Structure 1
């Protein structure tokens, strides 16, 4: 391998994470995926493959240096952490393994022993019961890298669209009070820098949505566009960043409009996630921008209701691994 392997956290082993990881390894050669290793759970992986009738050898490896030799013939899993495969039955034990795997994987990525991190889905409520004090994995990673939560920017990326929610897991009623010109400018700067470095886009084009219907319609439906959003766009343009808007969100994601930008900056969670999931549900990837490490994740949850039934689509997991590998290669050769 020309660079270190990727590391995958196992996610909640009661969810669809284990079977998606196994299926991703089985497809790795055909999909041209970079080599990867799972942070713990070799027995979980073996049991998932066996119960689903998947012909996937699993090899426990002592350290990440052994991944290169193992990957072509078996799914490598770091020794030391393990648990029970109990699809559809989350427990304290499954949450503890999810948290321990995330910690190990993060440490490996932060230390440079892994070229990037791919996180499988977790159940935030279950993690909270075992001491996880963060709103989500993104905030955990920011803290682990010594950053403030706002320094980590969520981007949802699919074949059709990249979208960034500027406010994320907050009530819709709070969005207007949380939006500031400074917030928009700061996150847009991070997005532009990452699109240049990790996506190979020399001059990223950012389309900024409005908050209100019809982008406020000249103040008829609110003043956030004129008071907060337009000044941010002007500042970005003055810095040489190709930002446009505020755009009415109901028209921005039509096919002819999407061709005119590289990423959309959206004012709230659903404004960004609905179009990505409508267009690219089975290939959507959650990318964390602004970290010193590369982090991607499939843009879906644990799906406890279908875990272990063999019907979960591995497309988003494969896409997350592929994107992490591509980003790592650009950083290595940049």
Structure 2
């Protein structure tokens, strides 16, 4: 690989959006570019935190192979996959028809089918953090404390408030489920675990569902229990009758309506853009006011720690 191509590849790697990821073409392992040097590009796999140097010399070997034609993605060896993914960021290489090719005309520097934008590359925990931060900022800006405050909100703000609260709830529930499964591996019967913010224990709930009809009816017959005591209307069969006869639904169903608000879409791009704006503002918060806020947070944490220790 000549100096010009190598310099371009390093430049494109350095220009990748912070937080964006590449994925290996076959195994779909996500990784991020950590650094570049004269003889290597250092990547870190986010599914294992494994760091790996991608050597310029090996890029050169791949470059020589591509001079003679294309390289099918399906034929890539595991060790070559990250090289191929990074290579497609260059102005000289592209991924076309499931193959890596050297094509200056088709290549679009800095773009790659294996590149995942930062907004999409976030982990579930990072998404919950970001959504919670956006919701907290919105609550603070709108000064929402109770239901009375919601009455005064304009419709757009109220919609944003609902969408963000819904996203936080959904994301947090996913994290809770993951944590629950891990805690079940650590909790013994009747055991409790204590953290700084609360206590958990292993609880067992019994859920029942009837055995198959033949087994149930046989058990009733064996004990002389009339079958009609347990036989009832099958809703599925009743729906079939409604669909093929002139029987009216109101004659066999009591119908009620529940009115609720359904979130039909979330604008992730807008949320991420807003989040980046908040991040930039926080990064610029280096004046006396910012220092005072940090001191206040430290004081609150100290008081919390003292209270927990005393308790």
Q: TM-score, normalised by structure 1?
A: 0.27
Higher RCO (CA 8 Å, separation ≥ 6 residues): 1
